[in-house]
A and B are shown apart, each in its own frame.
Chain A
Amino acid sequence: MNKPIRIKANNKISYDIEKYIKPEMVYIPLENKSGVTYKHLVKEGEYVYKGQVVAINEDINFPIHSSVSGYAKFGSNKIIGTGKKIKCVVIENDYKEKYQKSRMIKKDISSYTKEEFVNALRENGITGLGGSDFPTFLKYQADNIKYLVVNAVECEPYVSCDKVVVHNYAEEILEAVDHIIEIMKIKKAVIVLKENNTDGIKEINKYIGTYPNIKLKLVGDAYPNGWERLVVKNALGIEYDKYPTEKGVIVSNVSTVYAIYEMLKYNRPLTERVITITGPGIKKKCNVRVKIGALASEVIAHLDGYKDLQKPIFIAGGPMMGNSLPNDDVIITKDINCLLVIEDHFEKNLPCINCGKCTEVCPVNIMPVFIMKNRDNLDNLKNLHPDKCIECGLCSFTCPSKIEVREYVRIAKAKVNNK
């Protein structure tokens, strides 16, 4: 396996979490980034409580909740993180934050059984907040789990929301992990942090002494060290084929763990998350707690807006894996962890000179250069396994000819997966 790469970027950002939890409108897209569709359950003009199920994925019975209370509208199309325009349910915020009555009942955090816990994960719409948008309950359904790995590595440059979550909620996270391993009957939990996140290490170390089953593991500041496979390998020395659960490992992002904490403690569905808003094009770089479904444009306007850049590009997600979007009218869904405005250093593509640097950095050891050159030859593509690609973007990053190699691999991946 190729070594992870250290990427330098100016990441300085405050550890405080700003708040913007009063959006005018909340948008609930009826399709997620992987193309899973949701069926809406509310009618036009119906009053929606905060925490009420607005739409549901009928295949696995997985809900999306309203993050505010107010009246529902239809028919508006907005873009999501992939840049695709999706039909949305819109809820006009009445700023009352009214919960349904059933939500007011709180359960004792230590009285959950495994079944109740998995059910709660599903009913409260907890998904992986690291960017996968994968329903968390599917992982915790598995039997014979031996290890829980909490991924707080967050290896993409600029992105820092997990870092501030660790800094601000270290105690809560440890408490949640402790309860999860008790409920799931897991022997050992490992929290994985980057070694240069000294502040996070300090915070965790303050409390970790009282939890004998939770260990701290440090990894280097390199990309893509936060990739699930590498995290598991570094934390436990375990390698797996497709999903970590086959080897009895569950990997959860640290923000997800915090969402689980709120769910266990306050019976709250996932309606808020912390995102990083940063980049040279942002006046006030910060991590901000937002309502899921708020518009990025509104949040950024609230944070003093933009700096003048010559050619800004707006990216949803980190600079390596994120997508550049045509405008900032993007819905902040559960999988968006960062909004980034950087100068577009558009450099002209030069021809590929076969330098092979992309094959030297690829974490899954495929050969992006050959995939690009054989993009029209399906037989050759199958040999080259573009389906292994994790879209980390290192090939595009490293290419000296500034070719968007990842886009070619992504297209090839779709071609191979569809055949």
Chain B
Amino acid sequence: MKSKNSTTSMMYNILIVLVPFIIFGTFKNGVYPVVKGYGNLYTLFKPLIYVVVPALVCLLTEYIYYVIRKDKKSFYYLFSESYAIIPGVFLGLIISLNTPLWFLIVGSFVASLSKMIMGGLGKNKLNPALVGSLLITVIFSSLTNGYLNPYEADAISSATPLSNMTATSYTITYDNLVKPYGNLWTFFFGNIPGAIGETSSLLCLVALAYLIVTKIIKWRIPVSYLLTVTAISLIMCLTKDIGLWFVIFNLLSGGLLFGATFMATDPVTSPISKEGQIIGGIFLGISTMAIRYLTKFPEGVLISILLYNVLTILINYLTVKLGDKKIWKTLAVSFMVLLAIVSPLVIGKNVSASENSDTYKILSKEKQGQKTVYEVSGRGYAGNNSIKLRITFTSKDISNIEVISSHETYMGMIIDNNYLNAIIDNQNNLDNLDTISGCTYTSKYIKEIIEKTKEDFKK
């Protein structure tokens, strides 16, 4: 006698749950910018195309793989028993809209291939969609041109909330992280820059509830994951004097809920035993937060889930070796809980809750008759003291700005756009001088340094 449970219906249930995400992604990244007057017909359907194309590439890859293995399968088989399109759909939802289409095709090919090489459905050790996404958004991130859709690039003209935070040397203030995008409700509904389909926390929560109630996913993983992130942020809040909005910010940003709902719970690549699931979830929470606040990678979810996939192999191995030795399992869980409680001390070490305005320094100040030459340094996109400028005042006005050194990635763009001259031209009206989209932060910081130097000169 067999129950009504079926792998096929589980998989296609997940696919159906993804439909609202695809619609949301199309609306937010396609329809909305077009309505606002950015982009054309292609922009309208771009998100949809970015979901369909990788799905088809994955399907084709598996088909060809089986042909080469001399084990030709029908497309019906690939749909009904190998679920070939699912990694593709996921990949389309977790990458940036600005990824070139050819690169997306390469990424989905690699994703599908990683699944097939490891043995096909049920045997792959890494989540295929994340392997493709690793290639696209981490290894070759310079090809993806940020996360902003055409409307956001113009209207908000800043990066995603988390890269914003990394850019400002982990300065955690409400004004820095939340305000540029609206408020936390904007985060909740998902109208923030990010990957195509993963920004809406509301949809994620509904999907999570549905998948847990229908027992399609292992509930212990997302629950322990989210609880760990909550706990770590809470401890950071308390020790670093940050407002409680930070907890919600951490939960709602960086595709965390999407990853917790769909990626971490992929049955094939997640731990089987109950303790293993909890350990895996806590590990995910710690590593996500550690990657966010300790490394240059702003988005920790993707990498930590891949690390957790590797950890799953170990967890499953240990589950077999330990058998029914309950004490060890309890010890392992307690150890992870302890680690989660201690980890904020390390994770929070770079974090500061106030703007680092005092990094501005006047290095030298020389008066040569009419001219006054300042050498100053200040913070930039790449961190404190990343920008050094030589500013020359002739009589009362700035006559020349020269870059002594900088660690800024986009300083070239500033020079190319003649931005320094634009500053000189608008020096009495700097507030109304627009920043350059693409290097918003660098231009903003240069303006800041100039303003401060001007104040000093007026004294």
Verify if B120 is at the interface (C-beta below 8 Å from A). Answer: yes
Q: Which of A340-363 contact B (CB under 8 A)?
A: 342, 345, 347-348, 350-357, 359
Determine, out of B3-11, B48-56, B433-441, the stretch whose residues face the partner at the interface.
Answer: B3-11
Find chain B residues with CB under 8 A from A350 CB. Answer: 7-8, 81, 121-122
Q: In whole angstroms, what is the CA distance A172 to B270 when docked? A: 55
Verify if B324 is at the interface (C-beta below 8 Å from A). Answer: yes
Q: Which of B1-26 contact A (CB under 8 A)?
A: 1-3, 5-10
* Given A359-B273, A367-B272, A383-B320, A400 contacting B1 (CB threshold 8 A): no
A8 to chain B, nearest CB (A): 9
Across the interface, do B2 and A353 meet the contact criterion of CB distance under 8 Å? no
Find chain A residues with CB under 8 A from B10 CB. Answer: 355, 400
Verify if B404 is at the interface (C-beta below 8 Å from A). Answer: no
Across the interface, do B6 and A383 meet the contact criterion of CB distance under 8 Å? no
Across the interface, do B122 and A356 meet the contact criterion of CB distance under 8 Å? no
A384 to chain B, nearest CB (A): 6
Residue of B nearest to A342 (CB): B1
Q: Which of B2, B269, B323 sits near A345, CB closer than 8 Å?
A: B2
Q: In whole angstroms, what is the CA distance A319 to B2 when docked? A: 9
Find chain B residues with CB under 8 A from A354 CB. Answer: 122, 267-270, 272
Verify if A82 is at the interface (C-beta below 8 Å from B). Answer: no
Q: In whole angstroms, what is the CA distance A398 to B272 when docked? A: 15
Verify if A399 is at the interface (C-beta below 8 Å from B). Answer: yes
* Given A350-B8, A356-B218, A380 contacting B122 (CB threshold 8 A): no
Q: Mark B121-160, 1 if CB is under 8 A from A, else 0.
A: 1110000000000000000000000000000000000000
Across the interface, do B218 and A353 meet the contact criterion of CB distance under 8 Å? no
Residue of B nearest to A394 (CB): B3
Q: In whole angstroms, what is the CA distance A380 to B324 when docked? A: 11
Across the interface, do A351 and B320 meet the contact criterion of CB distance under 8 Å? no
Residue of B nearest to A318 (CB): B1
Find chain B residues with CB under 8 A from A384 CB. Answer: 320, 323
Q: Which of A352, A374, A383, A396 sits near B2, CB closer than 8 Å?
A: A396
Q: In whole angstroms, what is the CA distance A345 to B1 when docked? A: 9
Q: In whole angstroms, what is the CA distance A359 to B323 when docked? A: 13
Q: Mark B181-218, 1 if CB is under 8 A from A, else 0.
A: 00000000000000000000000000000000001001
Across the interface, do B7 and A353 meet the contact criterion of CB distance under 8 Å? yes
Verify if A393 is at the interface (C-beta below 8 Å from B). Answer: yes
Residue of A nearest to B325 (CB): A383
Q: Mark B101-133, 1 if CB is under 8 A from A, else 0.
A: 000000000000000000011110000000000
Residue of A nearest to B1 (CB): A319
Q: Which of B1, B274, B320 sits near A374, CB closer than 8 Å?
A: B320
* Given A319-B1, A402-B2, A353 contacting B272 (CB threshold 8 A): no
Main secondary structure of the interface of B (DSSP, over half): loop
Verify if A168 is at the interface (C-beta below 8 Å from B). Answer: no
Residue of B nearest to A383 (CB): B323
Q: Which of A320, A347, A380 sits near B320, CB closer than 8 Å?
A: A380
Find chain B residues with CB under 8 A from A348 CB. Answer: 81
Q: In whole angstroms, what is the CA distance A97 to B156 when docked? A: 97
Verify if A401 is at the interface (C-beta below 8 Å from B). Answer: yes
Task: Classify chain B's interface size.
Answer: 20 to 34
Residue of A nearest to B218 (CB): A356
Find chain A residues with CB under 8 A from B121 CB. Answer: 350-351, 353
Q: In whole angstroms, what is the CA distance A366 to B81 when docked? A: 28
Residue of A nearest to B81 (CB): A350
* Given A356-B272, A359-B273, A320 contacting B322 (CB threshold 8 A): no
* Given A367-B319, A400-B6, A353 contacting B268 (CB threshold 8 A): yes
* Given A354-B267, A356-B272, A383 contacting B5 (CB threshold 8 A): no
B93 to chain A, nearest CB (A): 21
Residue of A nearest to B323 (CB): A383
Q: In whole angstroms, what is the CA distance A135 to B3 when docked? A: 34
Q: Mark A77-114, 1 if CB is under 8 A from B, else 0.
A: 00000000000000000000000000000000000000
Verify if A157 is at the interface (C-beta below 8 Å from B). Answer: yes
A276 to chain B, nearest CB (A): 15
Verify if B321 is at the interface (C-beta below 8 Å from A). Answer: yes
Most chain B CB within 10 A, of A370, A398, A399, A400, is at A400
Verify if A397 is at the interface (C-beta below 8 Å from B). Answer: yes
* Given A350-B81, A384-B323, A398 contacting B5 (CB threshold 8 A): yes
Q: Which of B2, B6, B120, B269 sits near A397, CB closer than 8 Å?
A: B2
* Given A354-B267, A359-B273, A400 contacting B324 (CB threshold 8 A): no
Q: In whole angstroms, what is the CA distance A370 to B322 when docked? A: 12
Across the interface, do A320 and B3 meet the contact criterion of CB distance under 8 Å? no
Across the interface, do B218 and A400 meet the contact criterion of CB distance under 8 Å? no
Find chain A residues with CB under 8 A from B321 CB. Answer: 380, 383
Across the interface, do A383 and B322 meet the contact criterion of CB distance under 8 Å? yes
Q: Mark B255-279, 1 if CB is under 8 A from A, else 0.
A: 0000000000001111011100000
B194 to chain A, nearest CB (A): 29
Q: Which 3 A/B pairs are nearest by Cβ-Cβ distance?
A: A383-B323, A351-B122, A319-B1
Chain A residues close to B by CB (< 8 Å): 7, 9, 157, 319-320, 342, 345, 347-348, 350-357, 359, 365-367, 369-370, 374, 380, 382-385, 393, 396-402
25 A–B contact pairs at CB < 8 A? A7-B3, A157-B1, A345-B2, A347-B6, A348-B81, A350-B81, A350-B121, A353-B7, A353-B121, A353-B268, A355-B7, A356-B218, A356-B273, A357-B215, A359-B273, A365-B324, A366-B324, A367-B272, A367-B273, A383-B320, A385-B324, A398-B3, A400-B5, A401-B7, A402-B6
Chain B residues close to A by CB (< 8 Å): 1-3, 5-10, 81, 120-123, 215, 218, 267-270, 272-274, 316, 319-324
- Additional A-B contacts beyond A367-B273, A369-B272 (14; CB < 8 A): A7-B1, A347-B6, A350-B121, A352-B122, A355-B10, A356-B273, A359-B273, A370-B272, A370-B316, A385-B324, A397-B3, A400-B5, A400-B7, A402-B2
